[in-house]
Amino acid sequence: MQSRVGESHRPCPTRRITPISSRTAPPLGRRFAASRGVNAAKAATLPLSGKARGVSFAADSKTPLAADNLQDQFVVFQMNPKAEGPTILESSQVDPLIEGSPEEPDVLTSLEMLSFNLGANEQVDKATDATMRINFGKDENSRDKAFDTLFWSIAAGLKLYDQVKNQRAESKEFKGDFRKACGNRPIEIPGGLGKLSFEVVKHKEPAWWQKVFNFVGGDVGKSLISVLGFPAITYQTIGMLDELLNRLMDSKLEVLFKSLPMRLALSKQARIDFTGGNPRIKTGCLNPGFCILARGRDFQAIANSNANYYPAYGKLAPGNVSETDLVGGRYDDPLKDVTYAVFRVGMKKTKLDPTFNFG
C-alpha cells in the first residue's frame, strides 16, 4: 500500500498534549496522546553502564530530557546470540547481519511477542487489564524517497489477572503474533532505517474494552491477549486511533512503560547511509532474533544476570540456576521486580517497487 509521492502528512490536532513527542514517529502519551509535529527536534542520549555507549532518541525542544527521565524510558535491547558476554546488548553495540545494497535497500520485518513479564511489585487485582500500543515504520532520514512515511500500528489488550486460575496471569500467557494481526503482511521499512515506539498502560476494564478486544476461548484455556493490527497507515490515521482511545478511556490509567521513538538501522547499508561512515555516530541497530524491551535503568541488572530465556515459562532466569530449581521456584530471582517483554524479530532484505502500470 502506497500513498501518493509528495503528499503531505500532518498529525491530527488534539486537545491533549503529549508529554514527550517527536516530529517523526508517532509517540504514545499518557492517554495514548495523538501525534503532533514539533518545529525543532533535539537528540537526547540515555547513558548506560559498562561498555554500552548510550541510546539516542529524538525529543521535542520544549521538553527537557534529564538523565533520570531517560532511565525510566523503555528501550529495545538485542539478546546476545552468543553464550559469552552480557545477556543483552545495547542497540549501538549491534552489528547488522543484513548487508543491504542499492539493489535491495529495503527490509521486511515481523514481530512476535513471546511473553510479557510484569514486575512482582506491580499491583494487580481481578479488574486490572492493560493496553499495549506499538508503532513501527520508516524513519524520515531513510535513503528511500519514493514511499511516504507509513507505520504499522499494533494495539493489544492484556488481561493481567487470570480469572480461571484466580491469580496473576503468567508471563507466558501473553504471546501474540503481530504479523497475523496485520493480515500476515510484513512490516515494510523502505531504505532499512526504521523508527519504533511503544507504550503499555494499566487500567480497570472499561465497558468497551471487552468488545473491541475479542478474547476467544471457553472457560478452560481462555485467551489473555488479543491483538488488533493496522498495517501501512499514515500520521492522520494514527492520530485518529489515539484520539479514539482518549475518548474511550474513562478509567484512571497508570503507565507501565513507555518509550521515546527509537531510530534503528536494520541493515549495514542503512547504518552507513545515516552515519556517512562516521565512527562517532552510534546509531542503534536491530537484527533478526530475540530482543527485550526493558527500562534503561534495568539494563545492568539484565545484562549482568547471565540470564537464559525459557519460552516454555516465558521468563528470564540467571544462568547459574538449574532446570530443577527453575521449575521448583527454588532460587532468588534478581529480575522478579523487572518489567520486560520478549519479542522475536524476523527480517528479510528486499526491493519494494513503487511503480506499477495498468496496461
pLDDT, tens digit, 9 for 90 and up, residues 114-136: 988 888 887 777 667 777 888 89
User: Domain limits of the chain?
Assistant: 41-350
List pLDDT tens digits, range 287-301. Answer: 999 999 998 889 999
pLDDT of residue 241 exceeding 60: yes
- Given a contact cutoff of 8 angstroms between Cβ atoms, the answer to whether 343 and 113 are in contact is yes
**Closest listed residue to residue 171, CA positions, set 256, 113, 128:** 113
List pLDDT tens digits, range 95-113. Answer: 999 999 989 999 999 988 8
At residue 280, the pLDDT reads 94
At residue 132, the pLDDT reads 81
At residue 24, the pLDDT reads 43
**CB-count exposure of residue 218 (10 Å: 0-12, 13-18, 19+):** exposed
Sign of the four-CA dihedral 194, 67, 19, 199: positive
CB contact burial 71-106 (16+ within 10 A = b; e otherwise)? bebbbbbbbbeeeeebbbbbbbbbebebebeeebbb
List pLDDT tens digits, range 55-94. Answer: 445 444 344 445 556 677 888 999 999 999 999 999 999 9
